[in-house]
Amino acid sequence: MKDSRTSSSNGNKRKPSDKKWFTGIDPNGVMNNAQRILNTAVEVLEEEIAAGILAAKKIEKKVIDVDEVRSGNAEELMSRIRRDTHDAVDIFLDALSVIANYVNGLSETIEKTKKNGVAKEAPNPVSGYQVPTVKNDLPVKAGESMDITIELSNDNEKPMEVSLRKAALVGPDENKIAAKNIIISPQTFTLKPLSKQKVHIAVKVPVICKPGSYSGLFIDNKNTRICTVVVVDVIK
């Protein structure tokens, strides 16, 4: 092997013993390039996992025996569906949580305000806190744009760095509104102690977008508790 590496007894700390591995990389540009490429890669993985969960849920819906549900033997079936749904949320949250370093000691809340959008709260059965959902008040037509405004508040006495990660919105038949069609403003900012900050989410719906409900999870890069599900209803 061209690059031998050392490891500590617990295997946790390692440093390259051979710099040859990095030969040819411009040190000034490497971090930016690497960060950009890895961010792209992680976004792709997240989108695919989310799409897989949605596809699984659709299949689950298809295999529900309606007659059995109506006949009164529904409890076992419903238990199974509840369990599977929780599993799906587990998978989703786990995939998201590994992208961020969990910041302890901060208790933040996310609030939503209504501009063109209306806020709804949805219980999160896994983590014990609520992942809020923001949804456009009126459905938007394919080819048009819409805005949703959320408000973040920092209830702590320490400043809070926020860097929101946007995600593609996944809709019917795995159709997507790509992340590039979404603008978050501001996307990165510092929230002073005991202050609030409005964040605008502008979504341009592609002309070829199929009607239906599109959703995606927007999350802070460092603190997974700062997150919201954005739902956009698209009509013809």
Partner 1 sequence: MQDAVMKSMLSEYAGYALQGIMHIIPDKEPKKYLYDLIADYPTRGGKGFRPGLCIATCRAFGGRLDQALNSATALELFHNAFLVHDDVEDVSYVRRNKPTMHQYNNMGIAVNVGDAMNVLSLKPLLKNKEVLGPALAMKIFEEIEHMVAETVEGQAIELGWRKDNVCRLDDADYMRMILKKTCWYTCIHPVRIGAMIGSCGKVAVDKFNRFGYFMGTAFQIQDDILNLVAEENKYGKEIGGDIIEGKRTLMLIHLFKTCNKKELEKLALFLSDTQADGNHEIAAWIMRLMDKYGSIDHCRKVAKYMAGAALKEFCSVFAALPDSKDKKFIEELIVYMINRDY
Residue 4 near partner 1 by CB under 8 A: yes
- Number of chain positions touching partner 1 (CB under 8 A): 37
Contact 42, 99 (CB under 8 A): yes
Please report, as a single letter, which amino acid is at residue 10.
Answer: N
Residue 234 — φ and ψ, nearest 5°? -115, 135
Which of 17, 27, 32, 34 lies at the binding interface for partner 1 (CB under 8 A)?
Answer: 34
Q: How far is the CB of 60 from partner 1 (least distance, A)?
A: 14
Residue 2 near partner 1 by CB under 8 A: yes
Q: How far is the CB of 143 from partner 1 (least distance, A)?
A: 21
| Identity of the residue, 3 or 111, whose beta carbon is nearer to partner 1 in the bound complex | 3
Distance CA 40, CA 91 (A): 20
Residue 21 near partner 1 by CB under 8 A: yes
Interaction residues for partner 1, span 89-108 (CB under 8 A): 90-91, 94-95, 98-99
Q: Which residues bind to partner 1, rule: CB under 8 A? A: 1-5, 7, 9-14, 21-22, 24-25, 30, 33-34, 37-38, 40-45, 47-49, 52, 90-91, 94-95, 98-99
